[in-house]
């Protein structure tokens, strides 16, 4: 008993820690479970209720000796149902795996965005020469535009309007220009590239340094394109429709197959089976587009805040470093 409690407690802590690492929120085990289930339960509940009522009606008709159950001696029909069950289950697994591949590709792209942002901001801060104090301020504003690219890409993928957090990362003039743009992260990438080109014309960068930094900007645009590809290329709708048709047929056939064994337990069992299968199918539908607001989607807010924190730490660290170096020289 003590071993069970210890294992159960470790499982809870693992779930809590994983959710905290994923989203940055510190919740207890019940809150985490409720939040994750809440995203799918309202969608599948009407179908689960329908399947349970249907299972009860099948049990009721069987109780009054109506020939509704499949004959136990009919081996051909039993084998046909079994083959249907296996094929349907494999199709459901394939659907879920395909959705997870899209989810994981989206996570890889956002992970690459974090690394590319670090490399680009570090390169701009170290390589671009400061000739005046105004150059230093301009460089800080460009570093914050790299952060703005991440926030703008998040809003772009979510089809969300511009917010105050994005406005705080740029000038008012830039913010007004951004409101008129159709592809806002691409506009920000253009500003960053234009700044680098201007610095090369001022002899603050050589051509090799310019090429290296522009490659980082190109990587930002490639990451944006990869996310747009996932967003604008969903799984074929006929695939989803056919899977749900098979799921519906499966839930209609299963009570007829098991009612002779379960009798009045048919409704609870069918409710449980339909809840499990519908949950798996709905999870696939939810994670195939991983850039939304659902609890099971990618934690884009946390990723963007990580990039912002990295840049602000870079600016603060280098400013303190230069101050200490000048103090030591004196």
Q: Is the pLDDT of residue 7 over 60?
A: no
Contact 288, 235 (CB under 8 A): yes
Q: Round to whole Å and give the CA distance between 173 and 211.
A: 28
Q: Is the pLDDT of residue 10 over 60?
A: no
Averaged pLDDT for residues 224-247: 86
The pLDDT assigned to 320 comes to 53
Averaged pLDDT for residues 28-51: 77
Q: What b/e sequence results for 65-80 when a residue is b if at least 16 CB atoms lie within 10 Å of its CB, and e otherwise?
A: eeebbbeeeeeeeeee
What the block records as the tokens of 133 is 């104090």
Crossing angle of the two packed helices 29-38 and 41-63, in degrees rounded to 10? 80
pLDDT digits (tens, 9 = 90+) for 249-266: 888 888 887 788 888 888
Q: Round to whole Å and give the CA distance between 322 and 49.
A: 67
Residue with tokens 């105004």: 134
Confidence class for position 248, pLDDT limits 50, 70, 90 = confident
Crossing angle of the two packed helices 133-157 and 75-127, in degrees rounded to 10? 170
Residue with tokens 């003039």: 173
Q: Round to whole Å and give the CA distance between 66 and 63.
A: 7
Residue 30 exposure: Cα atoms within 13 Å on the Cβ side: 0
Confidence class for position 329, pLDDT limits 50, 70, 90 = very low
Contact 105, 98 (CB under 8 A): no
DSSP annotation of 74 reads: -
Averaged pLDDT for residues 196-211: 92
Averaged pLDDT for residues 140-155: 95
3-state secondary structure of 202: coil
The pLDDT assigned to 98 comes to 87
The pLDDT assigned to 41 comes to 79
Averaged pLDDT for residues 136-155: 94
pTM of the model: 0.81
Averaged pLDDT for residues 154-180: 92
Average confidence score pLDDT of the chain? 83
Q: Is the pLDDT of residue 74 over 60?
A: no
Averaged pLDDT for residues 186-214: 93
Averaged pLDDT for residues 88-105: 86
Q: Is the pLDDT of residue 319 over 60?
A: no
Q: Round to whole Å and give the CA distance between 56 and 61.
A: 9
The pLDDT assigned to 325 comes to 46
The pLDDT assigned to 225 comes to 96
Q: Work out whether the CA dihedral 234, 237, 238, 242 comes out positive or negative.
A: positive
């Amino acid at each position: 008993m003590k071993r069970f409690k210890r294992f159960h407690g470790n499982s809870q802590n693992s779930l809590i820690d994983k959710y905290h690492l994923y989203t940055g929120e510190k919740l207890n085990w019940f809150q985490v479970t409720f939040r994750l289930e809440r995203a799918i339960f309202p969608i599948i509940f009407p179908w689960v209720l329908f399947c349970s009522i249907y299972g009860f009606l099948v049990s009721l008709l069987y109780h009054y000796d109506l020939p509704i159950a499949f004959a136990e001696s009919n081996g051909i029909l039993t084998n046909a149902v079994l083959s249907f069950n296996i094929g349907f289950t494999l199709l459901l697994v394939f659907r879920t795996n395909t959705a997870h591949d899209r989810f994981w590709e989206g996570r890889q792209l956002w992970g690459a965005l974090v690394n590319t942002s670090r490399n680009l901001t570090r390169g701009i801060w170290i390589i671009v020469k400061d000739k005046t104090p105004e150059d230093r301020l301009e460089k800080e504003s460009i570093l914050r535009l790299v952060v703005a690219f991440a926030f703008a890409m998040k809003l772009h993928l979510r089809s969300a309007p511009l917010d105050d957090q994005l406005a705080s990362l740029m000038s008012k003039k830039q913010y007004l220009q951004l409101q008129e743009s159709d592809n806002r992260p691409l506009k920000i990438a253009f500003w960053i590239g234009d700044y680098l080109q201007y610095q090369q014309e001022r002899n603050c960068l050589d051509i090799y340094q310019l090429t290296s930094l522009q490659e980082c900007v190109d990587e930002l645009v490639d990451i944006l394109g990869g996310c747009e590809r996932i967003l604008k290329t969903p799984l074929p709708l006929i695939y989803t429709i056919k899977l749900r048709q098979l799921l519906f047929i499966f839930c209609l056939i299963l009570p007829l197959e098991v009612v002779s064994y379960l009798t009045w337990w048919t409704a609870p069992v069918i409710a449980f089976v339909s809840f499990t299968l519908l949950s798996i199918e709905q999870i696939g539908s939810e994670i195939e587009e991983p850039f939304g607001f659902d609890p099971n989607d990618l934690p884009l807010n946390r990723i963007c805040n990580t990039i912002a924190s990295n840049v602000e730490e870079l600016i603060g660290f280098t400013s303190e470093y230069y101050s200490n170096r000048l103090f030591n020289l004196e």
